[in-house]
Each structure stands twice: as C-alpha cells, then as structure tokens.
Structure 1
C-alpha cells in the first residue's frame, strides 16, 4: 500500500510522464492507428493530451506477458443481452484494484493513503477524462454523494449499507479538484475490498452528463420530455436508466473503462470501441487497450460451446464448462483456437445448501441440528462424485478455502467429509429421526417420511449427475430425494420466501482470500446467502427487515465478523479468519462436495497475454479482470 510520503512524492511529479515526453513525429507513431484520422482532422486531441498527466504504467515484460501492439477486434459469444454485464467486470477499471497477488494497487486513482483504516484519502490523476472528453474530477464524487446517495427519490435507503460503520455514514470531504477523503470514527477494513470487488459500489459518476436528467439541474418540463422520449414514467426512472453502468446499455453514458459501449438494446450484437481517454499505458508508452474493439454476439446459451469450437469466438469463458472440454480440445486440430484449463476459485464447485430459514418448522428444526447436517455430509461419497463427474480432477472438500489461499488448512478441507454411512446413521438416530428398520425410510417428528426436495436451476449440466449420485447415497441413510428444477429468479425467490428446504448451488465465491479480505461470506451478512437469507437480510437492512440469527453458532460468526472489522491488520485478523473457518466448516452450514475443479478458457491461438494457468472466479479475480484484458493483443496481422 502506498504510504503518505510516497503518495505525495508521486503526485508532486505529476508533470507529463517521461514515456510521453516525445517529439511530435514520435508521438504520432504511438497513436492508435484507428484514431489517427480523427486526430489529424482535429476531431480528437493527440494522445499526449488525452492521457492524464500521470497515467498508470503497466509493466508487461514478465514470463506470462509481453508488450504488444495495437489493432484487432475481439469476438465473444454471450447467452443473452443481459450478459453484456460481463464487460465492466472483465474490464476491471476500479479506483483501487487487486494485482495478481491480490494486493491493493491504485488504478483510476493516482494514489491513496489510509490512516488507521478510518481515514481514506484519494488522489485522482490530474488531467484524467471520461470517454467523452469531459474532465474527471472530485465533482463526479460530490454528485454521487450529494445528488444521488442523499436524494431520497434516487436512493430511498440513503447511503449504501457498505459505506456505513456502526450504522454511521462517513464524513465526505472535497479537498480540491483531484483530492477527496472519506473518514469514519471506527475502522472500515472492508472499504478498499469493496472498491476492488467485481461489482464495486460506484462512488463517482459522469456528473456533466447526468445532470441533464436530475431535477436539481433540469427543468420539470424538460425532464418530462426526456422521460417520455425514453419510455419511462418520471425523472427518477429516467436517471436510473441513463446512469446504469453495471449493465452498459446506454451508449451515451461516459465511462472510464478501456472500451465504451456503442450499442443500445435490443440487439443481437453489442459493440464496444476503444476509449480514447483510457488512463493506462504500457512500458513503451503505447496507450491501452491494445485491441480496438470488442464485439459480443448474442446466441443461444446451448450453442455457445459448439460455436466456440468452430472458431466463432476469440475469447470464451462463459456458457462453457468442463463437460465441453473434450470437444473443445479436439477442435484445436481443426480451428485456430487454444484451450487452457484454469482452476475455479469457489469454495465448492457444487454444494448442497440447507435453508435454515425455511418456513416448514419441522424441517427447520431438523436442519438446525448440527448432527443432521454432519450426517448428510459424511453420507456423501465425494470420491465417487469426483471420479464420475469431474474425471478425478477436483478435490473432495468441505466448502472452504483452497490451497492457493494463505488461510488454507487441511482440517478445514476434511471437516465432516470422510465417507462414513454408519456414523451418519448413528448421528441421525441420535437426532431422533426414526427409521423403518435398518434399510427403510426415516421419519420426521410429525410422522412425515423424510422426503427431501432439492431445488436446482440445472444451469450446470453436471448437476443432474451429482444429484443422481446424492440420491443413491442418501437413500442408504433413510432419506428419499426429489429434485425440483426452476428458473434462477424463481429459484432465489422461493429460497428467500422459505419455500425451499435445500438447494444446489456453488460454495464460497472467494475461495482464495487473504486475511485482509473480508470474511463476510462466512457470516449472515447478505440476503443472497442461500442457507440463511433472512438472517443476512437483517444485517443488510440494519435490522429493518428479516430476522436476527437464531442459532448460537451463526450469532458467533457474526460477532467474529464484527471483531474482524475492528481488528488491527495482520495476526489479529488472521486469527479471526481461522476461528470463523473452523466454526463454519465444523457446523457444516453448507455441504461442500468438490473444489479445485477446472474451467476451460478458449482463446484465438494468436491472442496473447492470457496466462496459461489462471484462477477463474467472480471474486476476487473478477473473471478475467485481474489479468487485464486491455493488455491482450493479437500476434500477426490484426
């Protein structure tokens, strides 16, 4: 992390970067070819004027990456128009981001300083601009803070919960055009991790553009006219539509990302062109991104693998899975593609999630009993699942961190994962689930047979195979399994409403954490945690909705999480992480099965700077994000 002295020295040198202090002819040669005509015609400033005075320099001379050259279009396939949301995740342009070792580094920011994890001072890059050429300054942060977060029509809940510590929002200070500060009375160790996350809370927006849709800056008559023209009811819906950046559907919305959207839905092809004002350069002074354009073609999700195998995608990570690997690998012989295998970062590639907030009181009491959760876990033959479904390439494991995490311990991986049907039956007998003889069905306390409905979206093709094996395993301990398939939105709604007793999903999103990353996934902190959605909602809403945790062990995890937030960096945080991991895995709040599985990543054979052995996941890698797609380039003719 940058110290105060280093930060100020860095900013004191914010004159033109040495890589850009070139003669006019030399500068022209470093201009992206696709922009040269616009520069020559005076429609666009030259590169040295478009870049911040202190651009981010990305060093690429290492074994995995080399400096590249301009040009080319990257084709990708998506299963539907909603999947354009992968662009801002993969582009991974953040105020503060992770590097490949998951250390915090300034990205959009020139520098940042942290004092006692309470005071965060941010320094912008002087001369930085949005993609439309408008200045990027602290006014863009003020607009979000005052005119969005504190405009009740736009943000009914006020300041986002992730920015509150002990239910108090930060003090927000504008020091000058390029310096601002957020400060709290108590430590906020989650703050930088939130800014580096795949879908980060946006503290800044292009205010010069968005003010035309805000009632504070625009007449009522004009807002009504704009709302009508854009097919929405009022100025609030208008502002929300025009400012949506998570799914980049507005081509007019300025961005700081390496590529800017050029297509409005509905469409079957979405085009993203290079941002001429992007703030990164390579070590040779070439402005990133190297690639001129990204094109996302919409197709049926079922056909993405087939089309990828025929060379219709230059980079494919979505809508393909390990089951497609054999076909895709064989396609290397016929088409100019290369297939790599990256390790997935989830705590479990597939997990069984008991709903501890289900409405059925009898089932809830059963699932609250740790003996039952442990019995269900050790009744699963994970080795059989690994060999039959994942070709032995995964690792039987509880839902926990991977060996790539410095927090990994073998005891967490092995917690209640040894295949032991006899011990499982003993635990279930002890828990009071009676049975018709040694091989018969078990019964709940109200006399109903233990017919367990497991909900799934069946989005992953292998889930049916896993559930077929689970059905056999649990029949041996007196449970009869039924599978119910539903669409993802209905699937989540049924869980939150308590209509689901158990579901199939994946495990921890972040299976490669460090002690300085938040352990909130291990505690009831969010309403999308399928094992305790109402307890998570209670935390997320500040106590205004949901229910507080009712199990002592879940309460303890929440207390430990609060303790981590107050802890000093280093050994104290690491100790809390280990206490939480030990408790989480011992209690088997989720039944992890297999982790360390692999994900095929398909690229055009001449596309460079992707690692051969990467980590694949949503958090903390932001899928391709930490590998910086703006540094990908084509060898040979683009």
Structure 2
C-alpha cells in the first residue's frame, strides 16, 4: 500500500479485521476467495468480481457458511429473511483473563421478526434471550413498556453508550442528476444553512429523552482516529460542533448570500435561477419511528420534501 501522507493507524485498521461488522475489509481469506476471482481463477467470468457479483456473495461471512472468518462466531446455517445460526469459532484468537478461549457461548440463533409489534410482544412475554435495539426496530420510547414487564418477562432492560457518531444522518447527493441541484448541494453555505435550521435540542428532548449530545454527524467519538492523541480529540470536537447551533437568522442569511431567496413572492425560497426548490428525502422502508419523527422542518424558508 502506498500513501500520499503518513498513515499511522494502518496497523490498527488491519487488525480490526476481526470485527468485520464495524472494521475494515481490506483483507480477505485468500485461500478460499481466490477461486472466485478472475485474477486467480481464469475459468470464472470478470463479472464475478464486480459489485454484487459472485465474489461479493461468497465473501459475505454473514450469509455464506463456507466463508472463513476470524470473528468469535462463524455461521453454521442461513435461511434468508428467516433465521441465522452461529456457532463458536474454534479458531478465534481471544481468551478471557483465566486463559479460557472466547467466546463463552456455544450457539447463537438469530430469528427474523418482520413486524416490530410482534417483536415487542415477544420481548414482553420473555420469548427472547437477547435483543439488540438497533436491529429490532426498538427505540428509547419502548423502554417504559419493557420496564413495566421486567418481572413477568425476566428480561432486564440495559442502557449503554451506543458509541455512534450520530442518531440520524442525511447524505446529500453531490452527483445529483439535476445540474442546478448538484451545484447547490456542493455549495458549503447551502449545507451550513440547512444545518443551522435544525433544532437539535428539541430533537434531543423529544426523540432521545435528553440522552446523547448535539452533533452535525461525525465518526464515533470512540473511534481510534478521534482518540489517538489530543489533536484527534480536538478535530472531533470541531466536527461535532461545526454549524450545530439552532440559528434561523443565520440560516436565512446564508441562503440569501447564495441567491436562494423568495423570487416570486409566494413565501417559498426558490433556486438561484428562480426554479422551484425541492429537497427530496429517501429513506429505507424499515426506518423506525424515532428517525421518521425528524420531519423536514427548516426555519430558513419552507421547502417541499
């Protein structure tokens, strides 16, 4: 690997292979994967190595039981959209303080529950041993109901720091097919205005029950890049706090500066050329209610979403 600048975290990123869910995928088990890549196997088509090709399907250790992995569990069986069974990986490299190899659970059976309401009922009835909120359609609003049924269900409600750098994040399409919108999205003052138009304190109160901290959306505050030294911690704070304040007046002023103003007097701001300004938000069908509550509200001027 060749770098344009020093890369002191490279070794740590390579080592994070064992946490493939959140870590790097710079490495693959070559002894297994080379049979699916045209560089090593001339009998396979070049399309196997494209995105969503056979190579990608075979390297997905979460759906392909044959794929070797260095994580604590390895996939034993998989039924799409129904169930995944994981077993202890005998080649896992970690041990506990007493020298016993981890993990200390032999088998994990993960069942898919399509209806979040059914999942909540199963939890309250004690039908599940473990539930990880982000993957079960659960939100902080569910805590009260689960706490009320703890004695009956035997399920203990635990809260821990998720370590995320953001709750919800909106990504702008820098390559928008409309050249006018593409130019607007690439204008920093436009993005800054929208950020100042978001009342994060209100969202924190209504959606997150005053947990967490306001942010513009960053890497995790626990990421090694942000904790490696004082400079990393300083940069994290700068990212977190940039344009984070709720300041409608500043938002309006920024839009005025770039010509996003009400040109026809209808009470709505238009594109700099006078055409309608429409901001479309796409989100997955399984998006949970806590994210959906964050409506497209901008004090800098109404937009159609």
Q: When the two structures are superposed, what TM-score results if normalisation uses the length of structure 2?
A: 0.74
Question: Quick one: distance in 2 between partners of 1:440 and 1:217?
Answer: 62
Q: Secondary structure at the match of 1:338?
A: coil
Q: Does 1:201 align with 2:25?
A: yes
Provide Cα deviations, 1:441-471, integer angstroms capped at 9, x if missing partner: 112233223232222225132222111xx32
Correspondence for 1:623:
none
Determine helix, strand or coil for the equivalent of 2:151. Answer: coil
Deviation string 1:198-233 (CA, Å, 9 cap, x unpaired) is 4343646383x7798899999x8xx9xxxxxxxxx9
1:358, distance to aligned residue in structure 2 (A): 1.2
Instruction: Map residues 217-256 of structure 1 onto 2, 5 A cutoff.
Output: 240=55, 243-250=58-65, 252=66, 255-256=69-70
For residue 296 of structure 1, give the secondary structure of its aligned residue in structure 2: strand
Secondary structure at 2:61 match in 1: coil
Say which structure is richer in strand: 1
| Greater RCO structure (CA 8 Å; 6+ sep) | 1
Structure 2 partner of 1:413: 240
d(CA) in 1 for partners of 2:144, 2:123: 13
Unpaired segments ≥5 residues, structure 2: none
Q: With structure 1 as the length reference, what TM-score do the two structures score? A: 0.38
Deviations 1:382-416 (A, max 9, x none): 22222122222232222236665543445543322
- Residues 428 and 216 from structure 1, CA distance in 2 versus in 1: closer, same or farther, beyond 3 angstroms? closer
* Runs of 5+ unmatched residues, structure 1: 1-163, 168-185, 224-232, 483-638
The aligned residue for residue 314 of structure 1 is 129
Are residues 279 and 347 of structure 1, via their aligned partners in 2, closer, same or farther at CA, if it must alter by over 3 Å?
A: closer
- SS in structure 1 at match of 2:218: coil
Give the aligned partner of residue 391 of structure 1.
Answer: 209
Query: How far apart are residue 306 of structure 1 and its match?
Result: 3.1
1:622 equivalent in structure 2: none
Counterpart in the other structure of 1:381: 199
Whole-angstrom CA distance in 2 between matches of 1:312 and 1:269: 16
Distance 1:245 1:196 in 2: 16
1:273 paired to 2:273: no
1:461 to 2:289 alignment? yes
Q: Could you tell me which of 158, 165, 185 is aligned with 2:2?
A: 165
CA distance in 2, matches of 1:281, 1:213: 33
Q: Residue 268 and residue 415 in structure 1: after superposition, are their counterparts in 2 closer, same or farther (change >3 A)?
A: closer
Q: How many residues align?
A: 281
1: CA distance between counterparts of 2:281 and 2:54?
41
Q: CA 1:330–1:363 in 2, change beyond 3 Å: closer, same or farther? A: same
* Residue of structure 2 equivalent to 1:75: none
Alignment partners' CA distance in 1, 2:203 and 2:78: 44
Q: 1:273 to 1:377 in 2, by over 3 A?
A: closer
Task: State yes or no: 1:296 paired with 2:110.
Answer: yes
CA RMSD of aligned residues (A): 3.9
Shift of 1:431: 1.5
Q: Give the Å deviation of 1:244.
A: 3.2
- Shift in Å, 1:295: 1.3
CA distance in 2 between counterparts of 1:374 and 1:188 reads 30
How many angstroms does 1:346 deviate by?
A: 2.8
Question: Where does 1:206-605 land on structure 2 (aligned, <5 Å)?
Answer: 207=31, 240=55, 243-250=58-65, 252=66, 255-265=69-79, 268-300=82-114, 302=116, 303-317=118-132, 318-319=135-136, 320-400=138-218, 405-406=226-227, 407-409=232-234, 410-435=237-262, 440-457=267-284, 459-467=287-295, 470-471=296-297, 474=298, 476-482=299-305
Q: What secondary structure does 1:462 align onto?
A: helix
**Aligned counterpart, 1:633:** none
Q: Distance in 2 between matches of 1:246 and 1:338?
A: 31
1:191 paired residue number: 10
2:84, 2:110 within 8 Å by CA — same for their partners in 1? Answer: yes
Q: CA deviation at 1:335?
A: 1.4
Displacement after TM superposition at 1:307 (Å):
2.1
Where 1:273 maps in the other structure, the secondary structure is: strand
2:279 and 2:186 map into 1 onto residues whose CA distance is 15
Cα 1:402–1:446 change in 2 (3 A) is same
SS of the residue corresponding to residue 262 of structure 1 reads: strand
SS of aligned partner of 1:337: coil
The answer to whether the 8 Å contact 2:28/2:59 transfers is no
* SS of equivalent to 2:256: helix
Pairwise CA distance, 1:428: 1.6
Secondary structure of 1:377 counterpart:
helix
What displacement does 1:196 show?
0.7
